[in-house]
Structure formats: C-alpha cells, structure tokens
C-alpha cells in the first residue's frame, strides 16, 4: 500500500518528490553504467580466454555500442521532449537487459557484436544524456541542482560495480555476470522507472524570451550550440582516451603497474569531490563557469602529465576534478543557455558527436601510442585540452553577449 501511494503521489506532484526521483535515477544510473561502459574492463580478458575471440574485438564491442548510442541519441532526445523520459528509460533497461542476455548466450563473435549493438541502443536511451534530459523535462531550470545531485551518484558507478563484477566473474563466469546484470535491469531498474518517474513534465514551462527574438538572436543560438557541441566532444575525446590508456601512459614513465593503478585510483574520488563542491557553490555562479573551470582543470592536469612534473598525484587530481565537473556542465550548460523548451531534443543532438568521439577515441589513442609513443600522445591530448579552454572561454563570452542582447 505504501509503495502504491508513493507512486500515485509522485505522478500527481513531481516537484514534491524530486529527491526521490533523483535517488531512483541515481541508483539506476550506477547499475546502467556498471552493466555497460564499465563492464568490459572486468570481463574482457575472461571472455577472450573462454572463447578464443581476439581481445581487440571483445573490447571493441563497447566501441560499437557507443557508435549505436550516438546514432540513436537525437531520436532519444526528441522522444523525451515529446512524452517525457519515463518510457524512454524503461526502454533502455529492456535494451540493456536484452543485449546482456545476448552476450551471455552468444555462441560466436558475430552474435556477441549484435549483443553490444543492442546494449548501445540502451546506452543511448539510458545513460547520462537521457537522464539529464529527463530531469530538464521534469523540472525546467530547476533541473540544474537535480543534474548535479545525479552526477554524485554516477561518480560511484565504477567504485561499486567493478568489485561486484569481479566477484561475479569469479563465482559464475562472464556469462553469468551478464545474466546477473540483465536481471538487475529487469527486476530493479525497469519497475523503478515505470512506477517512480512521472510520465510528463509540468505544463507551466514557457519558452525564454530569446526564442521569440529576431534572426540575429537565432544565429547566435546556432553559433552557441555549435560551439557547445565542439567543446563537449573534445572533452569526451580526452576523457575516453585517458580512461582506456592512462595506465599505459603512466607505465611508460617507468612506473610499475601497481603504482600506476594506485595513482589512477585518485581520479575517481577527485571527480566526486569536485561535484560535491559544485553542488554547494552552484547557486553563486552561472553554469558556463562550471564548463570553463572543467576545461581549465583538465588542461592543467594533462599538461602537467605531459611536462612530467614530479607531483603526478596533483596532476591526476586536477584532471579528475575537471572531468567530474564536465559531467555536470554537459547537462546544466545547455539548460541555462537555451531553456527547458526543447532541452531534451538539444541534449540528444549534442550527445551524438560526443558518443561518436567516445567510440573512436580508444582506437585513436592506441594508434598514437603505437606510432608516436607516450610523450606525443600525452602532448597531443594536452594541446586538445588547451584548445578546449579557449573554446570554453569563447562560449562564455558569446553567451554573455547574447544575454546582453536579450536584456
């Protein structure tokens, strides 16, 4: 009875239960990331050893999944704008579960790849961008704090799911691990989406005044959107390369694997710490400055790695703080710049190049490492990161000019 009453109240009065909705999304995000993006890091070696399939193709399944996610993301955003995020997120849980069950049953590499393509549909419909779009659709400009809170949950995805995945791998093998995560999606995530998330947004949301402006304002909107898409994509490229190749880059400087892992472990807590600080101080600044700070911290961290400064831990903590803030910025900056009307559609379009960059980034990083070496790879990433700081500052300047024109 309590559960039914909570569901009914949530449908009638979404703002009253926003913290419950954020908590539900936070829990489901942890296991959605753990069952998709973070899964190959634990099971890939076991899959390759058990089946004889090449490790490159086993890990490459994730890249194909991200490619599929990028291709469907614009349609996901449109669907969330049209009818809300509840049904889209429920669809994502079904896709992730179906893809994982396909992996578990795959007798050959071809069906394994098909499984990852199905998972990719679920990733496009159920990871951060879709969750952010859902919160923006529900709470309008008030979604900024909700998005920030959600990223705090997401920051623990690898911390929670990697040990669980390792335990499952040891106990039931990689196929059993896939079945276990599929069960979580169907038994936990799917009911939570269907019963605890409101179907539609409040009806009082109105377009910002700038949307009724002249052609000059519309042109500035297009320029802002293109600039924002570029800086988000570059940030995704950097973080994707380092998420896969950071340990190799650290080892190239003479570290042992154990030492590199110890230093690499600083990135996760730095992400969460930066997000917690942002949650406290967010009311005092425009979200665009979160984006500028994110790009600057990433650039400082990666440049320090390239310069081989003696305090590597500081460089990694700066980098971790930067990508932690980046997750917040990718959800809050579009909402602040363009308003809540059409926000989900915009998020879907912005997600497409970022997800495609994530799909190809590990391959680009591997190619640079093999052909040019670790120093050139890190230097290239540092150059991209510095360029991204310039773009973020240009974005802040253009946004200020646009606000002045509107006012």
- CA dist list (Å): 76 to 27, 95, 177, 182: 21, 13, 28, 21
Do 144 and 252 fall within a single domain?
Answer: no
pLDDT tens for the chain, residues 1 to 407: 444 444 545 445 445 567 788 888 999 999 999 999 888 878 888 888 899 998 888 888 888 999 999 999 999 989 998 888 889 999 999 999 999 999 999 999 999 999 999 999 999 999 988 998 888 888 877 777 888 888 888 878 877 888 888 889 989 999 999 999 999 999 999 999 998 887 665 544 444 444 445 566 667 778 888 999 999 999 999 988 887 777 777 877 777 767 777 777 777 788 888 888 888 888 888 888 999 999 999 999 999 988 877 788 888 899 989 998 998 888 888 888 888 788 888 888 888 898 888 888 878 887 787 788 888 888 899 999 999 999 999 998 888 877 776 66
Do 146 and 8 fall within a single domain?
Answer: yes
Do 359 and 292 fall within a single domain?
Answer: yes
Indicate whether 203 belongs to any domain: no
Residues 6+ apart with CB under 8 A from 199: 11, 83, 84, 86, 87
Indicate whether 201 belongs to any domain: no
Q: Which two tokens stand for residue 202?
A: 């409040």
Which secondary-structure segment (H or E) carries 60? helix 55-83
Find the angle CA(94)-CA(361)-CA(328) to the nearest 5 degrees: 65
How many domains, the chain?
2
Indicate whether 74 belongs to any domain: yes
pTM: 0.83
Indicate whether 353 belongs to any domain: yes
Do 232 and 154 fall within a single domain?
Answer: no
Indicate whether 202 belongs to any domain: no
Do 73 and 17 fall within a single domain?
Answer: yes
391, 231 Cβ separation under 8 angstroms: yes
Instruction: Bin 286: left if φ > 0, else alpha if -120 < ψ < 50, else beta.
Output: beta
Indicate whether 221 belongs to any domain: yes
CATH number for the domain spanning 13: value is 1.20.1250.20
Round to whole Å and give the CA distance between 24 and 135.
12
Do 180 and 275 fall within a single domain?
Answer: no
Do 55 and 176 fall within a single domain?
Answer: yes
């Amino acid at each position: 009875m309590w559960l039914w009453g909570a569901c009914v109240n949530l449908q009638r009065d979404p703002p009253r239960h926003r913290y419950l909705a954020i908590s539900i999304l936070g829990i489901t995000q942890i296991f959605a990331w753990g069952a998709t993006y973070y899964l190959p890091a634990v099971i890939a070696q076991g899959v390759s050893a058990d089946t004889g399939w090449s490790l490159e193709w086993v890990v490459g399944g994730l890249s194909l999944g991200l490619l599929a996610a990028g291709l469907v993301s614009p349609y996901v955003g449109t669907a969330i704008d049209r009818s809300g995020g509840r049904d889209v997120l429920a669809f994502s849980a079904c896709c992730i579960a179906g893809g994982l069950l396909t992996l578990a049953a795959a007798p050959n590499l071809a069906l394994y790849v098909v499984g990852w393509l199905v998972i990719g549909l679920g990733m496009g419909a159920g990871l951060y961008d879709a969750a952010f779009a859902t919160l923006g659709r529900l709470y309008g400009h008030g979604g900024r704090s909700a998005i920030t809170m959600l990223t705090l949950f997401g920051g623990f995805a690898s911390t929670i799911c990697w040990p669980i995945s390792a335990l499952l791998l040891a106990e039931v093998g990689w196929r059993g691990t896939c079945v276990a995560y599929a069960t979580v999606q169907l038994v936990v995530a799917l009911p939570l989406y269907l019963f605890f998330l409101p179907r539609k947004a409040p009806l009082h949301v109105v377009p910002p005044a700038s949307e009724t402006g002249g052609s000059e304002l519309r042109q500035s909107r297009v320029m802002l959107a293109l600039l924002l898409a570029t800086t988000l994509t570059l940030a995704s490229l950097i973080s994707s390369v380092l998420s896969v190749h950071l340990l190799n880059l650290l080892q190239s400087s003479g570290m042992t694997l154990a030492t590199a892992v110890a230093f690499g472990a600083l990135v996760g807590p730095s992400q969460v710490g930066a997000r917690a600080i942002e949650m406290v101080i967010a009311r005092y600044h425009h979200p665009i400055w979160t984006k500028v700070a994110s790009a600057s911290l990433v650039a400082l961290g990666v440049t320090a790695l390239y310069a081989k400064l003696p305090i590597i831990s500081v460089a990694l903590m700066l980098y971790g703080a930067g990508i932690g803030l980046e997750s917040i910025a990718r959800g809050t900056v579009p909402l602040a710049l363009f308003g809540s009307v059409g926000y989900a559609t915009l998020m879907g379009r912005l997600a497409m190049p970022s997800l495609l960059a994530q799909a190809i980034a590990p391959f680009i990083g591997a190619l640079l490492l093999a052909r040019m070496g670790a120093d050139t790879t890190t230097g290239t990433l540092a150059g991209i990161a510095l360029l991204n700081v310039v773009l973020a500052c240009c974005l802040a300047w253009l946004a200020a000019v646009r606000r002045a024109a509107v006012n």
